Amino acid sequence: MKVETGWIKDINLSFNEPLIALKDVMYIIVHHTEEIGWDINKTQRFHQDQRGWSGIGYNFFIEENGEIIKGRGYHVGAHAYSYNEKSIGICLAGNFDLHTPSIEQLNSLTKLCIFLLHQYNLSTTHILGHRELKGVTKSCPGKNFNMGQFRESIKTEWPNYKDKE
């Protein structure tokens, strides 16, 4: 059982089918919406109505203003082919092929990633951009999102955080 924290907002999204609890989380996978101006509600509607999924595919969503909102939370998501059962998918609103994440989004992503790394006893090497997964050809989370730099920033900008050997 994972502890919910106050800084993760829960807007009680509804899902059409019961969700399955995540068991062995080995990766944190970062995405962008690719669509500019899509917030969590728009993404939820798209995944539910257009894709025909149970509901939003991401575990967590970070709005342009940095607000962290629960999607599927600690349940199996639908965001990365063959990785859904063993990862947490975090989606940032925006298209980072065209622009860059806001400072607020990056700060929130850092905070959420550190929280999850501790929870699952993982190191920063377990944080991957969607495009870093085997077989993925799209640029997600966008060509302006430097994954290597982000992983480094977690270690350097968070003095209390000690990366695993």
Residues that bind Zn ion (CB under 5 A): 31, 130, 140
Separation between Cα atoms, residue 95 and residue 20, nearest integer Å = 29
Shortest reach from residue 89's CB to Zn ion, in Å: 8
Q: Between 130 and 151, name the residue whose CB sits nearer to Zn ion.
A: 130
Q: Between 26 and 157, name the residue whose CB sits nearer to Zn ion.
A: 26
Shortest reach from residue 155's CB to Zn ion, in Å: 24
Separation between Cα atoms, residue 8 and residue 150, nearest integer Å = 21
Q: Between 69 and 140, name the residue whose CB sits nearer to Zn ion.
A: 140
Q: What is the DSSP string of 57-121?
A: --SEEE-TT--EEESSTTB--SSSTTTGGGEEEEEESS-TTTS---HHHHHHHHHHHHHHHHHHT
Q: Between 109 and 140, name the residue whose CB sits nearer to Zn ion.
A: 140
Shortest reach from residue 11's CB to Zn ion, in Å: 21
Shortest reach from residue 84's CB to Zn ion, in Å: 12
And the tokens for 36?
């500019």
